[in-house]
Structure 1
Amino acid sequence: MNAMFNAEILQSQKICPDHKTQMIVMFGRETCPACAVEYVNKSNKEHEKQVNRQVCEKHFAGAMLPKRHENSGFRNYTTELAGQKNALTQTANYAKKIVNGSVVNLVMVGSTGTGKTHLSCATARTLLAKGKYARYITSEDMAQKIMKAWDKDTKDQSEASVIYEFTQYDLLILDEYGLHDREKRLELVHKVLYSRYDDAKATMLISNMTLDQLKADLGDRLWSRFQHGGLTIVECNWNDGRVGGAA
């Protein structure tokens, strides 16, 4: 190790053709000091890119986007109808707000097959590409995960820890709200929504309900909190694109 730092550096008679500077002899090899610095800088940049790529891949994997929508983006969303164009614009603008650090919510309502999940995953992919944490999950799956923590055989997580987990993402996309069983499951989902509000985190809520039905289901207190700081409302009221209509 000491020999490495005590290596004798000699002047070479050669000139670097790229930098027009005199080369040196180190460890019996001729090299250009400027070239050596460029090589180190390039190596550091390549390492940084690799680390960033690995982090990005980890973020995407953790988002749990549905397989069908792993490539869904704003650019490949169908906009044949005026309502679809409006939904695309509103959702894309919302994604920009979250990327820029805003803490605002979005509600997207409408019948099945209107592209709501596509737009939500496009939002998640936009955030993930910018280094933000996003998570997609259905309302039923969230409730089931929290309820699993009640199992006496489950030692690694409690109800509070699962709710805390869902509170940490920069954006939580909660799809199919209202399709879960009522009563206890609804209460658990609302606990997550309240926790995210208290922790100043953005939530994207998607439902097949009408806007009035969703307001009533959330209740006055939670709906009021959802509007705090600004709320984007997207209503998808066109035909089901999966059965021949526009989507």
Structure 2
Amino acid sequence: MKTLAQIKPQAFAQPADEFCQVHNSQKVISFGTGRVICTHCELEKAQASHRKNAHASIREKHFHGAQIPARHAQSGLKNYIADTQGRATAKASATAYIKHLRDGGKQNLVMVGSTGTGKTHLACATAHNLLDSGMFVRYVTSEHLANDISSAYSRKDDTEKSAILRYTDLDVLIIDEYGLHDRSAKSPYILECVHKVLYARYDALKPTMLISNMSLNEIKSDLGDRLWSRFQDGGLSVIECNWTDARTTK
């Protein structure tokens, strides 16, 4: 960012007869345009513009890094259709969870329900709101997370530890489709990778959102007593989307 000393010789010519009431300094006649301006005011405008552009750049990087699906790029709380009591309750719970995290809370969240009940929309709406707050958020399916970690050794300069750390460092991690494609009788290590991330985020006091078509009891059983106990430590937010598939009822 330029300082006043750097821009004054290039941008301004001779002193003017006017004084800036804000900075109590003599104004100058701008070189080339003939405008009478205050150099301090111009510098403040330039700095404000720089901060605005820097904020926009950071925000763009945050959103790009969040990996929100293109289908849900515009999914927010405002366009989430809360036309039933159940959906209204789910929206209110997501709104409360967003506030909880913005206030520094560390609770995890579980969102369960059958296909087509708007879980991913609500999860991505939560992500958008947290990203707007400057938090580092990542959306990922459980399958992709597991495959990314399990294949770390096949990539140059990557390890399982490094891969897990990438998901642990995030302020908030949203794991969607838990239990859908992240398990195999031939390779139980796949699901183990997801659980390793959950353990690591618990140790790091990082909140995680777990989205699944499984029931709450099925998730509890799937995680096992030890991990389930840790996942709900300090309180657990639960959103149950127990209504019919919106895609098939239109």
- In 2, distance between residues paired with 1:26 and 1:74? 48
Shift of 1:150: 3.0
Q: 2:225 aligns with which of 209, 213, 220?
A: 220
Match of 2:211 in 1: 206
Summarize the Cα distance change of 1:40–1:143 in structure 2 as closer, same or farther, 3 Å threshold: same
* Conservation of the 8 A alpha-carbon contact between 2:30 and 2:36: no
* Residue in structure 2 matched with residue 170 of structure 1 by the alignment: 171
Distance 1:27 1:112 in 2: 65
The answer for the alignment partner of 1:185 in structure 2 is: 190
Identity %: 47
| Structure-2 change in CA distance of 1:72 and 1:31 (3 Å) | closer
Match of 1:72 in 2: 75
AA of the residue aligned to 1:118: H
CA contact (8 A) 2:108 2:237 kept: yes
Alignment of 1:34-113 (within 5 A): 35-113=38-116
Report the Cα distance in structure 2 between the residues aligned to 1:27 and 1:237, rounded to whole angstroms. Answer: 68
CA 1:39–1:109: 2 relative to 1, 3 Å: same
Whole-angstrom distance in 2 between the partners of 1:40 and 1:27: 15
Could you say which residue in structure 2 is the equivalent of 1:156?
157
Unaligned runs of 5+ in 1: none
Cα pair 1:104 1:230 within 8 Å, conserved = yes
Aligned partners of 1:23 and 1:30 also within 8 Å: no
Instruction: Tell me the residue number matched to 1:131.
Output: 134
Alignment deviations for residues 155-189 of structure 1 (CA, whole Å, 9 cap, x no partner): 22101100000001110000000112242111110
What one-letter code is carried by the residue in structure 1 that aligns with 2:162? S
CA distance in 1 between counterparts of 2:144 and 2:26 reads 67
- Give the residue type in structure 1 aligned to 2:213: N
Cα–Cα, structure 1 residues 30 and 134, in superposed 2: closer, same or farther, change >3 Å? same
Structure 2: stretches of 5+ with no match in the other structure: none
Change (3 A) 1:21 1:36: closer
1:192-240 Cα shifts (integer Å, max 9, x gaps): 0000000110000000001111100011111111111211011110000
Cα distance change, pair 110–30 in 1 and its aligned pair in 2 (3 A): closer
> In angstroms, what is the RMSD of aligned CA positions?
2.7
Q: Is the 8 A contact 2:140 2:175 kept in 1?
A: yes
Contact 2:20 2:26 in 1 (8 A): no
SS across alignment from 1:53: helix
Query: Could you tell me whether the CA contact under 8 Å between 1:138 and 1:176 is conserved in 2?
Result: yes
What TM-score does the superposition give when structure 1 sets the normalisation length?
Answer: 0.88
Q: Work out the number of aligned pairs and report it.
A: 237
Give the Cα–Cα distance (whole angstroms) in 1 for the partners of residues 204 and 220 of structure 2. Answer: 22
Deviation at 1:15?
3.0
**Are 2:138 and 2:174, in contact at CA under 8 Å, matched by a contact in 1?**
yes
Alignment-derived partner of residue 235 in structure 2: 230
Q: Are the equivalent residues in 2 in contact too, given 1:21–1:32 (CA < 8 A)?
A: no
Task: Provide the C-alpha distance between the structure 1 equivalents of 2:212 and 2:30, rounded to a whole number of angstroms.
Answer: 68
CA distance in 2, matches of 1:61, 1:55: 10
Equivalent-residue separation in structure 2 for 1:50 and 1:17 (angstroms): 27
* 8 A contact 2:28–2:39 mirrored in 1: no
Q: Which has the larger radius of gyration?
A: 1
